[in-house]
């Protein structure tokens, strides 16, 4: 008998589906395939989607559809690397696409149809108002990539990959246990 506690209040998974999904906080979902991840937030207006790794691709839309029939209304780039955002074209064209300026500039240079250009560009921070949810994105300075933005901690954080370059330990790319992000 396994006495380990459940990892979340709501865990929707299916190895046949090619992904695992957890509701990590009320209305905030994490989706992963063992290598890459996506997050989305269900609001009263629709869905805020963060990243779209090509390994998850259309499974992201299938996972969202399992949770809500609301449309994707906002799209967030954590950074420009194709392994995290190479399937951003799955999202509706009408949804605003948020990115930090350095990420937006790289997306323009790359001109990749799978990574459409950002439509909402910020330097230091931006707040996304989506009905009953407000999402604040911040740029803490260069880390994993120039332009890597994240949501300050509250109940959940999605940093794509956060590299604390200002710390001498632990090695780049690793966060110390309990280290604020």
Q: Which residue has the tokens 């910020």?
A: 122
DSSP labels, the chain? ---PPPSSSEEEEETTTTEEEEEEETTEEEEE-SS-EEEEEE-SS-EEEE---TTTTTHHHHHHHHH--PPEEEEE-S-S-HHHHTTGGGS-TTS-EEEEHHHHHHHHHH--TTSPPPSEEESSEEEEEETTEEEEEE--SSSSSTT--BPPSSS----SS---TT-SSS-TT-PPTT---
Predicted pLDDT at 138? 84
Predicted pLDDT at 81: 61
8-62 pLDDT, tens digit each: 445 554 567 888 999 988 899 998 888 888 899 999 999 999 988 888 889 999 9
Could you tell me the pLDDT band of residue 172, with boundaries at 50, 70 and 90?
Answer: very low
Separation between Cα atoms, residue 75 and residue 50, nearest integer Å: 6
- Across 6-20, 89-103, 141-155, the highest mean pLDDT is recorded for 89-103
Express each pLDDT in 115-131 by its tens digit. 889 999 999 899 998 88
Question: Are the CB atoms for 110 and 88 separated by under 8 Å?
Answer: no
Q: Identify the band that residue 7 occupies on the pLDDT scale cut at 50, 70 and 90.
A: very low
Higher pLDDT, 178 or 164: 178
Are residues 28 and 48 in contact, defined by beta-carbon separation less than 8 angstroms? no
Please state, for a pLDDT cut of 70, what percent of the chain lies above it.
66
CATH homologous superfamily, domain 10-138:
Ribonuclease Z/Hydroxyacylglutathione hydrolase-like (3.60.15.10)
Predicted pLDDT at 41: 93
Is the pLDDT reported for residue 82 higher than 90? Answer: no
* Band (179; pLDDT cuts 50, 70, 90): very low
Arithmetic mean of pLDDT over the chain: 75
Comparing CA positions, the residue from 132, 128, 137 lying closest to residue 157 is 137
Choice between 132 and 80, residue whose per-residue pLDDT is larger: 132
Compute the half-sphere exposure of residue 122: CA atoms within 13 Å on the CB side of its CA.
22
């Amino acid at each position: 008998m396994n006495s380990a506690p459940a990892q979340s209040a709501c865990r929707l998974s299916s190895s046949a589906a090619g992904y695992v999904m957890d509701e990590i906080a009320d209305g905030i979902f994490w989706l992963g395939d063992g290598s890459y991840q996506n997050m989305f937030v269900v609001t009263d207006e629709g869905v805020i989607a963060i990243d779209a790794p090509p390994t998850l691709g259309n499974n992201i839309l299938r996972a969202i559809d399992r949770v809500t029939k609301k449309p994707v209304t906002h799209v967030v780039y954590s950074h420009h690397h194709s392994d995290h955002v190479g399937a951003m074209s799955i999202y509706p064209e009408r949804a605003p696409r948020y990115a930090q300026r350095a990420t937006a500039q790289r997306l323009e240079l790359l001109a990749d149809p799978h990574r459409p250009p950002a439509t909402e560009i910020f330097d230091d921070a931006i707040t996304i108002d989506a009905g009953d949810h407000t999402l604040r994105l911040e740029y803490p300075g260069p880390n994993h990539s120039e332009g890597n933005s994240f949501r300050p901690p509250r109940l959940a954080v999605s940093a794509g990959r956060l590299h604390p370059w200002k710390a001498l330990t632990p090695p780049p790319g690793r966060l110390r246990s309990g280290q604020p992000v």
